[in-house]
Structure 1
Amino acid sequence: MVKPGEPRVLVAYGSKNGSTAEIAERIGEALSKAGCATSVYPAREVSGDVAAYDAVVLGGALYSGHWHRDARRLARRAGPQLGARPLWLFSSGPLDASAAERDIPPVRGVRRVAERLDARGHITFGGRLDEHAHGRTARMIVRAGKGGDFRDLDQITGWAELIARELLAARNGPGETEGT
């Protein structure tokens, strides 16, 4: 049950090997802990009607410079509704420490989605690729010793907490915090 003043946030994601799904879950946990009523779903399970939510976080894994198909499809399906509410985007994928060391701009397709839907922000998180990865290319990367887990959980949590603060400030008014 949603408490009065508690923003309802949808966290939707496109994930092939589970890493982006785990990032989305982490974002959802941090948002919930900060005072948001949060639902986390695979993007393919979201009908396109996001009217029940006050804000949306949409993320997708990056493969060969493209955002995951399910994230792209949801952005198209729900475009007008997503553009009418606060929206944040995330990508996951670099298989090195670069995402934790510097801001990585969105790939062209994600940049277009962000501009079209007036997203409030985008971040790229490091990815994870292990021996259970699906797909020939992914298995070749792991066999070549270039797999691993490059997600920075503190970075993910911190980003979600920034979103929660912004949503709660907008809901409660400037200078007020939850419970005042």
Structure 2
Amino acid sequence: RAFLEQYPGAAIVYDIRSSWAVRDWVVRLGGRPIVERVGHSYIKQTMRRENAVFGGEVSGHYYFRDHFYADNGFIPWLKVMTMLSRQHVTLSALVASLGPYYLSGEINSTVQDVGAVIKRLAERYSDGEISYLDGITVSYPDWHFNVRPSANDPVVRLNLEARSREMMEQKRDEVLALIRQDA
């Protein structure tokens, strides 16, 4: 919020694992949300290309155009504390205002063939909106998931989000069954 108040209409870059709450919040505040692959080099490159004022990753890395795209956890902490103080709200109230989203957390699965897993998911969820930005991301109006390969291990990482806890649990189990089918 602080960055979009200072730079109206600015671009904000976030990684593909992020909640829809990030996208919704940026749009609500008049910014331009840009999703990017996981990893600081991708985030920073996109920030420079798009002249984004802020970039963030689920892993807790935050980057700032005005600070040479440096990773800094102290600046966001100060911004949040300032916002809470000025608005006289609690952190839990601020988080609750982000929307009713339920996340699976990142779930790792060892697989024999990453390509086969991604193909199987693409076939099963072909009626969804599919992106191959980082692994495979499939989106529906009420839920979405990303499955991406580890750079170092024969592992895929699932991140899934839905608008209800029940749907998140059901879809998480459904997608995991497909991922682990040949494990």
Q: TM-score, normalised by structure 1?
A: 0.32
Higher relative contact order (CA 8 A, sep 6+): 1
Q: TM-score, normalised by structure 2?
A: 0.32
